[in-house]
Amino acid sequence: MSQAFRLFNTLTGKIEPLNLIEPNHLRFYSCGPTIYSYAHIGNFRSFLTADLVLRTARAIGWKTTYVTNITDVGHLTNDDTMDPSGEDRMAKALQSSEGTRFANVWDLSRFYSDALQSDWQQLNLLKPDVQPRATEHIREQIQTIEKLISIGAAYVTTSGVYFSVDRFSDYGKLSGNQASEALEQAVRDVVVDPEKKDPRDFALWKKDDQHLMQWYSPWGWGFPGWHIECSVMAQCYLGDEIDLHAGGEDLIFPHHECEIAQAEALTGRPFSRHWIHTRFLQVEGQKMAKRIGNFFTVRDLVIEKGVEPLAVRLALISGQYHKPFNFTFSTLRDCERHIKRIREAYDATKNANDLGRQDQSSLADALTEKQHLILNALLDDLNTPAAIAHALDGVRTILKNKDSLGRQAHEHMTEISNLLGIVPQAALPPSDGHVSNVRGSIPKAEDSQTEIIEQMIQKRSIARRERDFSKADKIRDQLLEMNIEIKDSANGTTWEHKSKI
RNA sequence: GGUGACGUGGCCGAGUGGCUAGGCAGAGGCCUGCAAAGCCUUGUACGGCGGUUCGAAUCCGUCCGUCACCUCCA
């Protein structure tokens, strides 16, 4: 049975139910990053939208085919003041201070692509069915460009191949940017080509035999334009018509507009039925920028600051994708606490499940109700704040009834885990020489510290027993300085690592 | 200038005609040697101005503000 999954469709400007081409099979493409550096939390907010779509679709029993690309081809930057040479991002990264450690662009691309996979895993994003790379689909791109030329939708100039926007009447249907005069005025062509027939025309292929990444084509050595890779790879793995295409809001124009033009000029049919775009996040109320010091990659938070990766995930999905979102450290701290409670609840229900107990019917009913609310919230344009509220409500219920939990409680945690991906269950696989345990990412070297910590806690316990509280408090302060937080309870003292935020 | 989105309390963020969102922070209490965590109780709101309606945060108009894009940045 299929339920309506409603999403805001950029194409129509309305919230509409996903209307699948093949019943119960979602074919879905999401634009991935250009890997010239570590992906930042803004990138991941966008990837997380795709992740939630996928999880929700699966929860209502849909089969899913999810493709998200890795752009590993350099593309020209548009930063004409900083970069008058029109150098591309990959090449620029190679020449940066961080880039000098790489032998060449290919090496750089491999490194950051591995880092992306690792971050991806840390934030518990589901594995795509296909994660194609632009450089592995050059042949298909060339073939598509040839076809576009043959049907008159593209033309060759001395500098490259351009798509002829004039030949595609629907150009502008996604972004609303239809007026060619307006574009003509605004246009800032990176590589000025006087042979372009229309200022709106965009490059499918750039001729350049000096470029660091170049391939041989019918038009000589060069590299593909940015837009062509996505539509080609989407059609390659998902077919000419797809159900859903996602990306960041900055991609609406020109990237997605151009994808539509390329794909639909070729097939004469709608490329994607639905388009969703994730709004940018701000950090502490400001646009994320390196010079303001509010620019964060996943590893800045997880490795440098020791934040539990799932807390980062929770923070990033705590705002609805379609609304502007302000990422703050206050939110992140809250999320760390939520994740702790979720873990506690999970541990409690796990045992209950192993015992094969049944919940009291009232508890079971309450949790079943919450599960419905969570799913319904997600089906309603990925209303994550509401879904999280219901999930946490269930967690609170579980923690309150810790001693009488059964299977339904365990199922509730499984549901939260499947739908929102915010339940820490097992240690994540190690990455980058760091081991991630249930208390967050801790460098392995600290394993030997554990003993010292335990000893200090022992000493404090003795001091407390002897009612020497000033000594006990001193030890607690020392531990706190080591980012260790302790809790006294009836069963003794427990400790955990605290993040540095 | 053009295109699109958004504007809810101290903060983050749901709610789309009448019915408690939730979280954080604040206040009071329980627990604790003191903390931390947890639990209980609790106040504050819908950008401005018009209009429609018995009734508007919600619909319509208008103004103001914020964000994004305008040729290769999620």
More confident residue, A296 or A194: A296
Q: How far is the CA of A337 from the C1' of B33 (A)?
A: 26
Q: How far is the CA of A354 from the C1' of B13 (A)?
A: 37
Subset of residues 349-408 in chain A with CB less than 7 angstroms from any atom in strand B: 377, 380-381, 383, 385-386, 389, 392-393, 396, 399-400
More confident residue, A244 or A408: A244
| Three-state secondary-structure class, residue A316 | helix
Given a contact cutoff of 8 angstroms between Cβ atoms, the answer to whether A309 and A298 are in contact is yes
**Those residues with Cβ within 8 angstroms of residue A327's Cβ, 6 or more apart along the chain or in another chain:** A41, A281, A282, A283, A284, A315, A316
Q: How much is the average pLDDT of A410-431? A: 77
Q: How confident is the model at residue A3 (pLDDT cuts 50, 70, 90)?
A: confident
Domains and CATH numbers, chain A: 19-278 (3.40.50.620), 283-420 (1.10.730), 447-501 (no CATH)
What is the per-residue pLDDT across A197-225, written as a single tens digit (0 to 9) for each?
888 888 999 998 888 889 999 999 999 99
Confidence check: pLDDT of A432 > 60 = no
Subset of residues 289-348 in chain A with CB less than 7 angstroms from any atom in strand B: 318-320, 322-326, 328, 330-331, 334, 337-338, 341
Using alpha carbons only, how large is chain A's radius of gyration in Å?
Answer: 26
A76 touches strand B (CB under 7 A): yes
Task: Output the pLDDT for position A56.
Answer: 96
Task: Sort residue A91 into left (φ over 0), alpha (ψ -120 to 50) or beta.
Answer: alpha
Confidence check: pLDDT of A377 > 50 = yes
Look at the block and give the residue holding tokens 């009612």: A467
Subset of residues 107-166 in chain A with CB less than 7 angstroms from any atom in strand B: 165
Lookup: tokens for A416: 């939260």
Look at the block and give the residue holding tokens 């690309």: A69
- Spell out a b/e string for A6-37, using b for 16 or more CB atoms within 10 Å of the CB, else e: bbbbbbeeeebebebeeeeebbbbbbbbbbbb
Subset of residues 456-475 in chain A with CB less than 7 angstroms from any atom in strand B: 464, 469-470, 472-473
What is the per-residue pLDDT across A70-90, written as a single tens digit (0 to 9) for each?
998 876 554 333 334 456 788
Positive or negative: CA dihedral A404, A407, A410, A416:
negative
Q: How confident is the model at residue A97 (pLDDT cuts 50, 70, 90)?
A: confident
Task: Output the pLDDT for position A353.
Answer: 72
Which bases of chain B are under 7 A from a protein CB atom?
A: 1-7, 11-15, 21-24, 32-40, 66-74
Q: How far is the CA of A416 from the C1' of B19 (A)?
A: 28
Confidence check: pLDDT of A363 > 80 = yes
Closest nucleotide to A178, Cα to C1': B3
What is the per-residue pLDDT across A149-189, written as a single tens digit (0 to 9) for each?
999 999 999 989 999 998 898 988 998 876 655 454 434 44
More confident residue, A90 or A134: A134
Task: Output the pLDDT for position A401.
Answer: 87
Identify the CA nearest to A26 among candidates A54, A64, A53: A64
Query: For residues A397 and A393, what is the distance between their CA atoms, to the nearest angstrom?
Result: 6
Q: How confident is the model at residue A447 (pLDDT cuts 50, 70, 90)?
A: low
A42 touches strand B (CB under 7 A): yes
More confident residue, A331 or A191: A331
Task: Output the pLDDT for position A178.
Answer: 66
The overall average pLDDT reported for chain A is 86
Confidence check: pLDDT of A439 > 80 = no
Q: How far is residue A176 CA from its own chain's centroid?
A: 26
Closest nucleotide to A8, Cα to C1': B5
Task: Output the pLDDT for position A2.
Answer: 53
Q: How much is the average pLDDT of A414-418? A: 92
Task: Output the pLDDT for position A75.
Answer: 65
Q: How far is the CA of A169 from the C1' of B18 (A)?
A: 47
Q: How confident is the model at residue A446 (pLDDT cuts 50, 70, 90)?
A: low
Identify the CA nearest to A412 among candidates A431, A399, A390, A394: A394
Query: For residues A200 and A26, what is the distance between their CA atoms, to the nearest angstrom?
Result: 33
Task: Output the pLDDT for position A217.
Answer: 95
Q: How much is the average pLDDT of A228-239? A: 95
| Three-state secondary-structure class, residue A475 | helix
More confident residue, A93 or A68: A68
Task: Output the pLDDT for position A76.
Answer: 58
More confident residue, A342 or A194: A342
Task: Output the pLDDT for position A443.
Answer: 44
